[in-house]
Structure 1
């Protein structure tokens, strides 16, 4: 029994000694970007974004909620977290010995032997931190998957919002096209009557017919676009959409007017994709410790304690105790350069992870800068386009009056109609751009505190 206690004490002592690693100290690389945004924009400290505070329409919020519950990509990302957590638990369990119990009976021609044992088999004493480094690497991989899931959810929320707003803008464009078509059909009916009595030339009639048919084709095109918008939105959501969830055109109040923006040092390092890259870097850094430990001896312990008897009835009687303790040490002498290659590979993987981390920061900086560039001038563009559309409308009114009085040809009126229609389409596009720019800024900033 004393020997069994000694074996247990040696094992626990070995576990206690397994507390260090040979992994290099982790130092976060400096962000390879400027300390200020390239676009002059007000910044706010301690920004806390929440998607519900940005996307205000209840139908849009309900659509996003449905997507979060049903989207398959998000489900996969969540399952990847569970998988990484299970892998971490497996790796962490290697820090503790496997203790097993066994009862064995053996019969030969001359003797019978029965034994009951409790023991551990080939437990590695992690003096140089190989197992602990692998455990740390698995833990960082788990953290990376968790942040990746947040990145997937933010991308999903942004994609649903953008597709929903695009559908709303296309509905406005279709409404405009139908109004234009109705006006062109009225003009064509009047023109056909005038042509029959000889007061309208065939050239003017054909030009009016072209306009009417072009408007009809435009309506059909936009109806197709809207059907495609709905199909794309359904795919993103992952479930059928009821009419009550769909928009009925762009309107004020669908999204908020402004988004608070923090400093680059605060924004970039909090984005989930950047955090994912950093956890991957930490995992690669920990793997260097495991590769370094391969150059040092590996100590394993095998031991057992129990009872052995030739009689099953006497298996647990006094005097039948047995024990064994077999420590082993393996010293690497020659491995054909495998250990050196393993360490070089681990260091290269760490350098790759550093480059990927820096690239993630640069991409994040670019995303935010692009969104800010659009936001800084979108109001001016909208104001100018609104003024241009109003001017085009007045021009059409004047051209119609001059045509009715016979002062201008139909070509002048036709040009005025085309100019107004084009200006109205551009205005709808800019209104959509203003709304979707907020979505782009939400995606670029990336730190949604409601996901934590």
Structure 2
């Protein structure tokens, strides 16, 4: 048996003792956010991050649309492919930490003029390996692994945003459909008013002014209805684009409901740390730490080992029975002069780490602001809905009183038209507030980590 030179033994032992020159923790200063997002005293709050979207959205039509979007949406498929690509890149980086084995075979023909004088067959194998004494390959692999994790979080973010976008587009179209139904009812009232005043004009009970005002109200509601039809078509196009299908219609539903989120008491801002955008920024910061380790390792010697075995013979039948030649080449490379390239690379790596730290801080503060704003809006919309419903009740009472006054002669028909217009306007405002409330609840659900689980 052929014995390897004794130097191979300590080299192989050194393989398992590599060190990492990457910083253990980032030294980037991150400006803190306030400790709490909410000071709610409600004890019945649920853990939003564990609340699946199938439970949160209890509308079967909406759930079906979200299922279709998750199966067909181009952005989500692209995010999944990017994640897969990043995982394969990590595999490439990881493979550099293992020995490279290559095999080769050849036939060497020699001759003079047109006559073959000799023929030689060769076969062999080569093994090459870099001893990662200072963690260069380890940190390259670690950097790519963190990049993969960051891409995975980006995919999760696309998933959650898609769920929220489909829900909001669906609610938008449903609200417009309700506005159209309200406009149709009001248009029927105006048409009845026009018929009534037209008959009154013939009998002398109504003036020409009453007739023109009734006619103007009807024309006005027709314009509003055309605008709402346009809005409904645009909303449906948005939903089609998200679902990436065009063979469905949205059926109007009487009640649009989602679970009203009850914010946990003294909700800590640390709850934001599981958001995919923050997790993505954190992994990118960790990757920049590993890149510093790669840049530091360039200042130290690189030790590699190449070994080969080969057989050769003039006869193919004797190729494996002949003498075996071996070659063993330990190699040490030490940087001596490269015009400051290694130092510049290290400084670049440190700058990029600082950039990643700033991005993390920026993402963290943006997330805090987003949730804080959504909490303020949630409270405001709740108050506005209550007040608007009370205002609608007063307008409906005013309409009833104007109708009674007209019958008793104490009010004109113009008073009825004005009251009807006020009721219609208030109903549209109430529907818009409901639309904003639904959008706010969906955004808050996703902003606090919901929507990833089904």
Q: TM-score, normalised by structure 1?
A: 0.91
Match of 1:81 in 2: 83
Q: CA deviation at 1:68?
A: 0.8
Q: CA deviation at 1:7?
A: 8.5
User: How many angstroms apart in 2 are the aligned matches of 1:197 and 1:412?
Assistant: 20
User: How many angstroms apart in 2 are the aligned matches of 1:10 and 1:220?
Assistant: 84
Q: Deviations over 1:275-331 (max 9, x none)?
A: 11111111111111111111122222222012233443332225x110111222222
- Choose which of 418, 435, 440 in structure 1 pairs with 2:421: 418
Go from structure 1 to structure 2 and tell me whether the alpha carbon gap of 1:84 and 1:132 turns closer, same or farther (over 3 Å shift).
same
Range with greater deviation from structure 2 (45-54 or 64-73): 45-54
Q: Secondary structure at the match of 1:21?
A: coil
Q: Which runs of no fewer than 5 residues in structure 2 stay unpaired?
A: 112-116
User: How many angstroms apart in 2 are the aligned matches of 1:97 and 1:265?
Assistant: 47
Range with greater deviation from structure 2 (95-104 or 305-314): 305-314
- Choose which of 167, 171, 188 in structure 1 pairs with 2:173: 167
Number of positions where the alignment pairs a residue of Structure 1 with one of Structure 2 = 445
CA contact (8 A) 1:39 1:369 kept: no
Is 1:343 aligned with 2:346? yes
Is 1:113 aligned with 2:117? no
Match of 1:58 in 2: 60
User: How many angstroms apart in 1 are the aligned matches of 2:334 and 2:109?
Assistant: 40
Match of 1:177 in 2: 183
CA contact (8 A) 1:169 1:249 kept: no
User: How many angstroms apart in 1 are the aligned matches of 2:76 and 2:304?
Assistant: 43
Q: Secondary structure at the match of 1:385?
A: helix
Match of 1:24 in 2: 23
Go from structure 1 to structure 2 and tell me whether the alpha carbon gap of 1:10 and 1:314 turns closer, same or farther (over 3 Å shift).
farther
CA contact (8 A) 1:4 1:305 kept: no
The equivalences for 1:168-207 within 5 A come to 168-207=174-213
CA contact (8 A) 2:46 2:262 kept: no
Q: Which runs of no fewer than 5 residues in structure 1 stay unpaired?
A: none
User: How many angstroms apart in 1 are the aligned matches of 2:46 and 2:420?
Assistant: 50
User: How many angstroms apart in 1 are the aligned matches of 2:314 and 2:423?
Assistant: 105
CA contact (8 A) 1:77 1:152 kept: yes
Q: Secondary structure at the match of 2:16?
A: helix
Q: Deviations over 1:356-392 (max 9, x none)?
A: 1111111111121122112224333222111110110
Q: CA deviation at 1:6?
A: 6.3
Q: Deviations over 1:391-415 (max 9, x none)?
A: 1011122223334444344544443
Q: CA deviation at 1:154?
A: 0.5
Q: CA deviation at 1:31?
A: 6.5
Q: Deviations over 1:402-445 (max 9, x none)?
A: 34444344544443222211211122122223322220111211
Q: TM-score, normalised by structure 2?
A: 0.90
Go from structure 1 to structure 2 and tell me whether the alpha carbon gap of 1:206 and 1:46 turns closer, same or farther (over 3 Å shift).
closer
Range with greater deviation from structure 2 (130-139 or 377-386): 377-386
Go from structure 1 to structure 2 and tell me whether the alpha carbon gap of 1:332 and 1:5 turns closer, same or farther (over 3 Å shift).
closer
Match of 2:241 in 1: 235
Q: Secondary structure at the match of 1:255?
A: coil
Match of 2:114 in 1: none
Q: Secondary structure at the match of 2:453?
A: helix
- Choose which of 283, 287, 294 in structure 2 pairs with 1:279: 283
Q: CA deviation at 1:112?
A: 3.7
User: How many angstroms apart in 1 are the aligned matches of 2:39 and 2:396?
Assistant: 35
User: How many angstroms apart in 2 are the aligned matches of 1:374 and 1:215?
Assistant: 31
- Choose which of 294, 313, 317 in structure 2 pairs with 1:313: 317
Go from structure 1 to structure 2 and tell me whether the alpha carbon gap of 1:420 and 1:201 turns closer, same or farther (over 3 Å shift).
same
Q: CA deviation at 1:342?
A: 1.0
Is 1:157 aligned with 2:157? no
Go from structure 1 to structure 2 and tell me whether the alpha carbon gap of 1:305 and 1:447 turns closer, same or farther (over 3 Å shift).
farther
CA contact (8 A) 1:151 1:446 kept: no
Q: Secondary structure at the match of 1:256?
A: coil
